[in-house]
Amino acid sequence: MRQIVLDTETTGLEVLNGHRIIEIGAVEVINRRLTGRTFHKYVNPERDIDDGAKEVHGITEAFLADKPKFADIWPELHTFLQGAELVIHNAPFDVAFLNAEIDQLSKTRSGGPRRIEDFCEITDSLVLARGKHPGQKNSLDALCRRYMVDNSQRDLHGALLDAEILADVFLLMTGGQAQMFTAGAAPEQQTEGSKQQQGGDFNTHALRVVQARPEEVAAHQAMLDLMDQQSDGQTLWRR
């Protein structure tokens, strides 16, 4: 199962007022494992950015002046998304902007899809969160607090960072456990530590055993309790 967790930043909130995409970030997940493959582009919207939008993402017209237009990044984006299930938080917003960009392309190019739904399945993680946590806040920040996902770097919204954070939240929310390592990633994307672990080149007699402190054990048990709650008691660590 191939899923792409996706987020966009835009010039404003209303696609019907001609606002456009200025950043796209996407993270690939296959069989509930982060692969390490991502897509990230800034886009020149050829229009002004609302002041309110700048306060959210911090992206300016000057920064985007030399960036490619949506038509320039579309072939690569289309290939990356083709046939995947897209996981988007508040999907109608991002889908509307993507479809507006695709529709603009269709007016100058013959053939090809007219909507993102023509070649991708859409899953709205906000709808899933509201179903699991009715009557509670289900913004991405609120979900990070609920599932203990670190979002300390999220001072401003950024499409790739938000997609990476949402991927962790989505895996925890839907399965109780998330694979945080880049299993299946290309060798150049793996850390030296992960390569050593995969190679098994350890001198076990030289390893020093460090016992967990009581507060660390308590924190670990609290995380397992949360995983049990979210997975109906199917946490592998307690089997």
Contact 24, 77 (CB under 8 A): yes
User: Among positive and negative, which fits the CA dihedral 95, 101, 106, 107?
Assistant: positive
**How far, rounded to the nearest angstrom, does the alpha carbon of residue 229 sit from its chain's CA centroid?**
23
User: Among positive and negative, which fits the CA dihedral 147, 87, 38, 153?
Assistant: negative
Which residues touch 230 (CB under 8 Å, ≥6 apart)? Answer: 147, 172, 173, 175, 176
Cβ neighbours around 107 below 10 Å, total: 6
Active-site positions read 157
Cβ neighbours around 193 below 10 Å, total: 8
- Tokens 């993680």 belong to residue: 125
**How far, rounded to the nearest angstrom, does the alpha carbon of residue 18 sit from its chain's CA centroid?**
25
